[in-house]
Chains A and B, each alone.
Chain A
Amino acid sequence: MAWAVFIVLSVLCVGAVAAMIVSRNQAHNALFLVLAFASLGGLFGLLDAPFAAAVQVLVYAGAIMVLFLFAIMMFNLRRPAPREKKTLRAALAAGLGTVLFVELVLAARKALAGSVPTGAPGGIEGLGRLLFTDYLYAFEITSLLILAALVGALALAGKKEDA
């Protein structure tokens, strides 16, 4: 059963990313990316990482991508992006992709050999406990950071009073 779900989600994820690259309509790009993020969240769930799965869906697929869609709609990008010459960029991307692939293969082989230690047990419960005991101070500062970003964005985007 798990295998079947894994195959379906993986195919969805890889397919969505491929479609996102091929498609030239910006709104479709964004929607394909949402699909890729959602299926990636499902994969995290299969790996017994419920927190990562929830964050993936809520933050990436939810908040960030909706923002992207809003931006695309606001700029009113109806026309698809023009075709561009991409020999150099394609070669560069292929080179970097190969390096990344080799790295991933090496990492996966090491992980399968069982030499990588797993994190502290306790899952989401342990995470919550850490956040509200040891890392409470850091956690609270994060709220200050978000406040600063919010105020700054509002101040800069605020109406320009006429002189």
Chain B
Amino acid sequence: MGSPLALAPLLAVTAGALAVLLLEAFLRKKDSEAPAALTVAALLTAGFFTVLSWGEPGLGAFGGRLVLDPLARFLIVIFVALGVFVALMGLKYAARMGLALGPFCGLLLLAVAGLMIMVSTGDWLVVFLGLEVLSVSSYALTGLRLRDRTSSEAAAKYFLMGSFAAAFFVFGLALVFGTSGRLELGSGVPGAAALAGLGLIVSALFFKIAVAPFHMWAPDVYEGAPTPVTVFLTIAPKAAGLAVLLRALSPILRAEGAAAVLSPALSAAAVLTMFAGNLAALRQTSLKRLLAYSSIAHSGYLLVAVVARDAAGLVFYAAVYLFMNAGAFGVLIALSGRGFERTSLDDIAGLGRRKPWLAAPLAIFLLSLAGFPPTAGFLAKFYVFGAAVREGHIALTVAAVLASLVSVAYYLKVIVAMYMREGEAEQEPWLEEPALYLVVFLCLFGVVELGLWPGNLLTIIRQALPGFF
């Protein structure tokens, strides 16, 4: 055993999940909001313990299988914020769409626990177990709209494809362990068999991150899932998977031998992902599907940070992406009605006149996703691409900038539809969802604040992650 503080955040979230699930049995009122309150409390407790351990360089337990180092702490804080956002977004959405709030919150907490396990370890076996806890919870979350065909279809697709990825991962683990006898992240790759094993593991992670050519499942799943779950799926597995890739691959990328194979392969995957996501997004007429493709493109930009071995850039980009993506989907949730969602471009035509206080934040989130200054999205891309140039990946950076230019077209298409097209004149009533508007406001604040004054967060990140430069 090591320090008990290392285990505290995970224990808080797990205990919260058990409490939420037990609460189901004792609740009289069916539409009680107690599970969401308990979820937020458990997540904040986990965040508190994480911040409490901030001063210590790195806490470990169980012989390196649990490592709470600065990178893990940053990501846990991001996951806690994401979990709180998703729980608040789902609060009223669950009632409107016929989701059971108890299982929704319980599965959400279990998924967050899986994320924490994944990012705070130095052992492939534990990464795999954490990934599976995350995946199994995500499959169920995706299908929670029981009466909706697309939701069930998305869950079935996600489950089948995810099982393939899990099989890839285990097979890769067997090859790595069989040839080297070790399961530490970032241990070298002696020989072709171990390299093949590592390739299998990386493809399985690519699958979870939705990196091309393993991204085919993503648009259908993101579109079919309940929108708060889509927020979770477009952010959490990407950040966690890329952090694992960074941990595992940066020692290998620094060495000479394997880097010659690995670095071009990762760059090619990043370029392919950016263009696959952006070009497909150009043709979409549903805003939810458009944002799904946009999130595939963003996995490509984030992968650039891994190629450049830029941990600080990755953490900053993930934090900014959390705000802008959650905000954009939050506005989509605010537009939905009882039992249905309004996601097509025709639905939001003229939104700028009908609901200016929803249209303006959405426009800012979209501009940030496209990477316009002075929003945070611009700085996030700027730091990541800058790190890539410093590391000498000029061609990759040029491709990434070109892909961002392509993406501007479809983000602006949405803004044009909101402000320059006439929509139907009927005035829908505002939804009474203070929690949802709070989330949208916090996201807006994050996007603008990090865009104008990024210094505070950047200083904290760079002080905590000096070893990764």
Contact = CB atoms under 8 A, between A and B. Distances in A.
Interface residues of B, number: 36
A148 B126 contact: no
Nearest to A134: B63
25 contacts: A135-B125, A137-B62, A137-B126, A138-B65, A138-B123, A141-B117, A141-B126, A144-B14, A144-B114, A144-B117, A147-B110, A148-B136, A148-B140, A149-B136, A151-B106, A152-B139, A153-B140, A155-B103, A155-B144, A158-B100, A158-B103, A158-B146, A160-B146, A161-B98, A161-B100
B311 to A, nearest CB: 24
**Most B CB atoms within 10 A — which of A142, A144, A147?**
A144
A151 B21 contact: yes
B143 to A, nearest CB: 5
Interface residues of A, number: 22
Contact of B146 (A135, A141, A156): A156
Nearest to B137: A148
A156 B133 CA distance: 17
A145 B17 CA distance: 13
Nearest to B131: A145
Contacts of A156: 140, 143-144, 146, 155
Nearest to B143: A156
Contacts of B123: 138
B58 interface: no
Interface in A107-157: 134-138, 141-142, 144-145, 147-149, 151-156
A22 interface: no
A136 B62 contact: yes
Nearest to B140: A152
B113 interface: yes
Q: Summarize B's interface: helix, strand, loop or mixed.
A: helix
B107 A163 contact: no
Given A141-B133, A152-B141, A155-B140, 10 more contacts: A141-B126, A141-B129, A144-B133, A145-B133, A148-B107, A148-B136, A148-B137, A151-B103, A155-B100, A163-B147
Contacts of B144: 155-156
A160 B148 CA distance: 11
B313 interface: no
Interface in B309-368: 339
Contact of B114 (A142, A148, A152, A155): A148
Given A137-B66, A147-B110, A158-B146, A152 B136 contact: yes
B130 to A, nearest CB: 7
Counting from the closest, the 3 A-B pairs by CB-CB distance are A152-B140, A155-B103, A137-B62
